[in-house]
Chains A and B, each alone.
Chain A
Amino acid sequence: MIESLLQNLETLLLALFGLGALAGAVLMIVLRQPMRVALALISTMVFLGGIFGLLGVHFIAAFQVLIYVGAVMVFMVYVIMLLEVRESTGARYSKLLLPGLAGFVLLVGAIGISVWRNLPPAKAAAADSAFGISKFSIAFLNEYWLHFELTSVLLVAAVVAALAVIKVSRRSHHG
């Protein structure tokens, strides 16, 4: 009795979080001010974090909130406030609105139908085996160490590129 109630509650929460994430994404397309778009994106990310938590990957949920909402979006909001460019009263959408909408419908239709049709049945043990942080860490540093090192190379490249951009801006400012 309680077991089935909990199962239903989990499905209900999953559906609610999914609807919230979808609503945030739609608001991102519709809203005009960049700050409101950023807030809609933050709410979408938090809802996605809730979905990850319900799926049992709690550490990814935590990092979703910590890295995306805590670092990336705070940076974005900071830049929006720093620029403080009032959006002109011109059109919100570019000339590509109709082709974009047609492409959107085609993409959702094509991938949606293929997802709908043939999906291999889930493994029976999948629901029970929550993928814990220790198992993840061992797999991460044993099997995927090369990818880990490659991302560190990518981060170094990003730092060097950011420094180069700052240098260019300083030169154009003085010269």
Chain B
Amino acid sequence: MDKTQLLLGLAVALFALGLLGVIVRRNVLVMLMCMELMLNGVNLSLVTFAQQTATGVGAVLVFLIFVVATAEIALAIPIVLLLVRDKRTLDLDAYSDLKG
């Protein structure tokens, strides 16, 4: 049992748990936080690969993911605020008219 394998397994578990949360939870804010968890799992795998191959590409990618995550949250939160002001609830089932 290698240290790298352990960390990669943890990264897979975090990503899969985040995906599970996005699929099964009904609260919009909880779904957003589960997306952040997925990004964190990817970050862990990138850092692990960077350590294993002794290159810096993984660290650079992690930095870019930080920026993307921040931009995503800065955009997603105002949209959620607008939705909640319209529907008065965080429950996802109330937004089914967004299907179009």
Contact = CB atoms under 8 A, between A and B. Distances in A.
B21 A28 contact: yes
A100 B4 contact: no
Contact residues of A: prevailing secondary structure: helix
Contacts of B74: 75, 158-159, 162
Interface string A85-127: 1011011111011011101100110011001100110110111
A68 B72 CA distance: 12
Interface in A10-40: 11, 14-15, 18, 21-22, 25-26, 28-29, 34, 37-38
Chain B, interface residues (CB within 8 Å), range: 35 or more
B54 A79 contact: no
Contacts of B67: 151, 154-155
Given A123-B54, A151-B68, A162-B78, A83 B90 contact: yes
A41 B40 CA distance: 10
Contact residues of B: prevailing secondary structure: helix
A136 B56 contact: yes
A104 B6 CA distance: 19
Nearest to A161: B75
Contacts, number: 217
A172 B67 CA distance: 30
Interface string B59-100: 110111011111101110111111011001111110000000
B63 A165 contact: no
Nearest to A147: B64
B13 A108 contact: yes
B60 A136 contact: yes
Given A76-B77, A126-B54, A147-B64, A29 B17 contact: yes
A18 B7 contact: yes
Nearest to A26: B17
A68 B75 CA distance: 15
A67 interface: yes
Contact of A97 (B24, B59, B73): B24
Could you say which of A85, A93, A97, A123 has the most chain B C-beta atoms within 10 Å of its C-beta? A85
A8 interface: no
A41 B16 contact: no
A100 B26 contact: no
Given A93-B26, A108-B13, A112-B12, A140 B5 contact: no
Given A18-B7, A51-B7, A76 B62 contact: no
Give the 4 A-B CB pairs with smallest separation, nearest first. Answer: A100-B23, A158-B71, A100-B24, A126-B54
